[in-house]
Amino acid sequence: MIKNVYINRTAHFLPNEPISNDEMEDYLGYINDQSSKSKRIVLRNNGIKNRFYAIDKNGTATHTNAQMVALAIEKLFAKNPAELEEVNLISCGTSSPDQMMPSHGVMVHGWLPNTKNIEVVSPSGVCCSGMHAMKYAYMSLKLGEATKAICSGSERLSRVLRSDQFEDEVKKLIELEQNPFIAFEKDFLRWMLSDGAGVCLLETEPNKEGISLRIDWMEGVSYANERDVCMYMAADVDQNQQLLSYMDFSPEEVKNKSLLSIKQDTKLLSENIVKLGFKRLKEILDKKGLKSDDISYFLPHMSSFFFEDKIYQELDQYGYTITKDKWFTNLDTHGNVGAGSIYLMVDQLFNSGQLKKGDTLLLAVPESARFSYVFALLTVC
């Protein structure tokens, strides 16, 4: 029997205190003892006012990625910790696991000794990995393979944004008498990203008291067959736009090229990220027979407010106008937490007290790595 699936609880963990724009380089450091040239431009466009880092000003880690997810999960069960023993699936998405092996999910499980021996999965990817984690849990419950599932989206990227990650590359540039500033494709993302974790508890029966969010559908799509790589880490792109693994470079090249940093082709990003995904969203909504009036809240994951009007205009040109009063985001206060951002939005709205039964939440998560998207519709019950 195919069952309904409900988000019955949500929680989050944000490390340490919020960090303002003026404080960022106190934590991330100065490259070549100079303030970033791109910082002011990027911050003006992205509209982010605060973000969170799981490091202190010395760059020392205060939390691991897996630990942040576990702390958020513990919040789900704060009123009844023994209930953790009933969980039989944990599904965790992130683009920044603490290590390549073991998987992110099992490391989260390792922080939760009160759970039992259960199934754990770790969808890989970037921003969409959190939604893939949710979809795996959703499908498992729908098919009766699990009864109580936790899914999560999280990131801890601040450590690889620190200036000390680029010191060898800058020294090499100075030796070659070249511009000792990090290229914009790397520096750009230093002012975009934030750390944190969001989690949801999924079950096949709604809450008896309060509200639940029924997951009506989830649909994903990739355009990797049509588009080149746009954002990457632990790799480099050659002159033919072929992605080269860090494993194919010498250890010296890995350091000198800062291959473990994150890079993004901003031109490719701006040309494709909105155009591809939101045309597809309109096609999905047409297939589902949904009109813009059927949507109560629109939750788009955006890396920057730069894309807000572009998304609005893209949908508007297809006759699917979602007025701005229906939009919900916490990008300005939480920053871009990648795979965790959509969880943090759902969590804040779920616990806001403003949702009423019958409301619908349309979730839209783009991923620029090679242009993937996941969309979902939730209904308040």
Torsion of CA 124, 125, 127, 128, to 10 degrees: -80
The pLDDT assigned to 176 comes to 46
The pLDDT assigned to 232 comes to 95
In this predicted model, what pLDDT tens digit does every residue of 290-308 receive, in sequence order? 999 999 999 999 999 999 9
In this predicted model, what pLDDT tens digit does every residue of 354-364 receive, in sequence order? 999 999 999 99
Mean pLDDT on 14-37: 92
Residues of the chain with CATH 3.40.47.10: 6-163+177-209, 215-231+265-380
Q: CB-based contacts of 135: which residues, under 8 Å, 6+ apart?
A: 218, 220, 374
Domain spanning 215-231+265-380: which superfamily? Answer: Thiolase/Chalcone synthase (3.40.47.10)
In this predicted model, what pLDDT tens digit does every residue of 305-336 receive, in sequence order? 999 999 999 999 999 999 999 999 999 999 99
Q: CB-based contacts of 301: which residues, under 8 Å, 6+ apart?
A: 127, 341, 342, 345, 363, 364, 365, 366
Residue 132, burial from CB neighbour count under 10 angstroms (0-12, 13-18, 19+):
buried
In this prediction the pTM is 0.95
Q: Determine how many CB atoms are found less than 10 A away from the CB of residue 203.
A: 20
Mean pLDDT on 175-197: 75
The pLDDT assigned to 380 comes to 98
Per DSSP, 179 falls in state: -
Q: Is 347 a residue whose pLDDT tops 50?
A: yes
Mean of per-residue pLDDT scores for the chain: 94
**Quick one: pLDDT band at residue 275, thresholds 50, 70, 90?**
very high
Q: Is 236 a residue whose pLDDT tops 90?
A: yes
b/e map 335-353, b = 16+ CB within 10 Å:
bbbbbbbbbbbbbbbbeee
The pLDDT assigned to 188 comes to 81
Q: Which segments of the chain does DSSP mark as H helices, in order?
A: 24-28, 39-46, 65-76, 104-110, 129-142, 158-161, 167-175, 184-190, 251-256, 266-288, 308-317, 331-334, 341-350
Topology (CATH level 3) of domain 6-163+177-209 = Peroxisomal Thiolase; Chain A, domain 1 (3.40.47)
> From CA 164, how far away is CA 111, in angstroms rounded?
29
Which of 28-32, 74-78, 97-101, 250-254 is the least confident region? 28-32
- In DSSP terms, 218 is beta-bridged to 376
* Selection from 273, 265, 260 nearest residue 368 by Cα: 273
Q: Is 178 a residue whose pLDDT tops 80?
A: no
Q: Which two tokens stand for residue 235?
A: 């790799």
Q: Which two tokens stand for residue 55?
A: 């490091």
The pLDDT assigned to 153 comes to 98
Mean pLDDT on 56-78: 98
